[in-house]
Amino acid sequence: MSVVDTTPASTAPALTAREEELLARVPDGLFIGGRWEAGSADPIEVSDPATGRVIKRIANARPEDGIRALDAAAEAAEAWAATPPRTRAEILRRAFDLLQERRDDFALLMTLEMGKPLAEANGEVTYGGEFLRWFSEEAVRIGGRFGQNPEGTGTMVVSQRPVGPCYLITPWNFPLAMATRKIAPALAAGCTVVVKPAELTPLTTLLFVQLLTDAGVPAGVVNVVPTSNAGALSEPIIADPRLRKLSFTGSTPVGRRLLAQAGQNVLRTSMELGGNAPFVVFEDADLEKAVEGAMLAKFRNIGQACTAANRFLVHESIAEDFAARVTAKVKALKLGRGTGDGVTIGPLIDDRAVASMGALIGDAVARGARILSGGNAPDGDGYFFEPTVLVDVQPGSDILREEIFGPVLAISTFATEEEALARANETEFGLVGYVFTSDLARGHRMIDRLDTGMMGLNTGLVSNAAAPFGGVKQSGLGREGGAEGIHEYLTTKYTLIPA
């Protein structure tokens, strides 16, 4: 059913029949209390970043729609919390199975609205799906404990209860996985949710909530309100005393603002914020492995990942060799629309991202960096930027301080382990670090002393649904995934029963 006026745009894109058919099947409404609804008169226009053209118009939620979504979540909360864990687990497991069946739709849809190459979109279906499977398994293992108090006068019972209605805000870069990483543990814990997907990539969440309904999630348990005015929609929801938890994935500046708002009602919060990952290659590293890790940590998702390696710190004795090997691989990458044959680098998300790559490279070069490959935005449609290698990046360059969020690999050198460590920790962020060395003792020293929530030792990819994902410092609060992930949605209750 269509709840939005879908008059064709004058800029109608040249979509394939398969793409047209899929986009026509994606719901275009707000999902509140188990029903599809229209939003305000001005729909959200979703574009394909490979062409810049509008591919679908969807309903745009107003602040009053957000409050109605919270009404629905609050109304459904008690019954969902009382639903047996086994039932909640089985619904999540069904959602996992359905996602495998509908894998091709989700992968293609993510490529269309976000731009990532189809193979990577498929990888995200796998990764995103694992949160459904993992938390279906965790739902029935919500423990507690009991024991005699030290005085011997009573029994102490500690149990875990769902925290209550949650507001989940997701970014555009992993449209499926960032949603499942929040929705699955919330539902497993017995919480109901209002989800606000990113305005740039809301379609995947809309298709996903339809899947959840098909899997048996009752009305009101998951509500979805895409909007073009995130601040206006979110403020009243966060200020509403019925809300119990805010979980946000996005940039650190927005995270700071939301934390301040959440402070008013002393909300539980999870904050998965920005990163500025160091990628340290020691002189004793297996260089081929380091190069492979670098390609993955830098160019996955077109460099648009919070875990993307941002600062390559390479020992001065091997820097030239490392840069030459990486450059050869970068030159072999294929830029294009993510659906194209053999494409390994898709477009950036929008024109601001393209401009930002140009500015960061310009500043680095003005301070003495050299370009070994790339460096430009090609002519033509879409928001493409050439994969780029920079060497001799000087301290003080913007590219070392800011999150690049694009396909630019910036190399600087170091002389000693102490220097590498000091430079790696020289950031307000602390999400993940990558270290390549064949010296195990050195590896352990880096694990101990690197100020990050996660670390890859001789690998460029750490994400796993069974692992606690999250950062320290201004990269955030809380963990998603792993045994820790469900506790973000549970609250501890202690009861004393006198003997």
Give the catalytic positions in this structure.
Answer: 272, 306
Q: Which two tokens stand for residue 199?
A: 């305005």
Q: Specify the stretch interacting with ligand NAD by CB under 6 A; choose among 141-149, 193-201, 210-218, 420-428.
A: 193-201
Number of residues that bind ligand NAD (CB under 6 A): 27
Beta strands in 282-349 (DSSP E): 309-315
Q: Are 66 and 167 in contact (CB under 8 A)?
A: no
The yes or no reply on residue 172 touching ligand NAD (CB under 6 A) is: yes
Phi then psi dihedrals of residue 35, to 5 deg: -125, 145
- State the Cα–Cα distance between residues 271 and 251, nearest whole angstrom: 9
**Which residue has the CB atom at the shortest distance from ligand NAD?**
250
Q: How far is the CB of 298 from ligand NAD (least distance, A)?
A: 14
Q: Specify the stretch interacting with ligand NAD by CB under 6 A; choose among 65-73, 99-107, 169-177, 363-371.
A: 169-177
What is the phi-psi region of residue 273: left when phi exceeds 0, alpha when psi lies from -120 to 50, beta otherwise?
Answer: beta
Q: How far is the CB of 229 from ligand NAD (least distance, A)?
A: 9
- State the Cα–Cα distance between residues 244 and 249, nearest whole angstrom: 17
Q: Are 290 and 312 in contact (CB under 8 A)?
A: no
Interacting positions 219-248 with ligand NAD (CB under 6 A):
230-231, 234
Q: How far is the CB of 349 from ligand NAD (least distance, A)?
A: 8
The yes or no reply on residue 49 touching ligand NAD (CB under 6 A) is: no
The yes or no reply on residue 251 touching ligand NAD (CB under 6 A) is: yes
Q: Which residues lie below 8 Å from residue 58, measured CB to CB, with a gap of 6+?
A: 4, 28, 29, 43, 44, 46, 202, 203, 206, 226
CB-nearer residue toward ligand NAD: 171 or 485:
171
The yes or no reply on residue 257 touching ligand NAD (CB under 6 A) is: yes
Q: Are 470 and 464 in contact (CB under 8 A)?
A: no
State which of residues 43, 185, 274, 375 lies at the interface with ligand NAD (CB under 6 A). 274
The yes or no reply on residue 164 touching ligand NAD (CB under 6 A) is: no
Q: How far is the CB of 496 from ligand NAD (least distance, A)?
A: 38
Give the 3-state secondary structure of residue 425.
coil
At residue 6, what is the residue type?
T
Give the 3-state secondary structure of residue 423.
helix
Residue 222 host element (H or E): strand 222-224
- State the Cα–Cα distance between residues 432 and 296, nearest whole angstrom: 14
State which of residues 273, 285, 348, 411 lies at the interface with ligand NAD (CB under 6 A). 273
Q: How far is the CB of 405 from ligand NAD (least distance, A)?
A: 6
The yes or no reply on residue 113 touching ligand NAD (CB under 6 A) is: no
Interacting positions 432-491 with ligand NAD (CB under 6 A):
471, 476
Q: How far is the CB of 254 from ligand NAD (least distance, A)?
A: 4
Phi then psi dihedrals of residue 433, to 5 deg: -135, 150
Residue 104 host element (H or E): helix 103-114
State which of residues 115, 185, 250, 456 lies at the interface with ligand NAD (CB under 6 A). 250
Residues that bind ligand NAD (CB under 6 A): 169-173, 178, 196, 198-199, 230-231, 234, 249-251, 254, 257-258, 272-275, 306, 403, 431, 471, 476
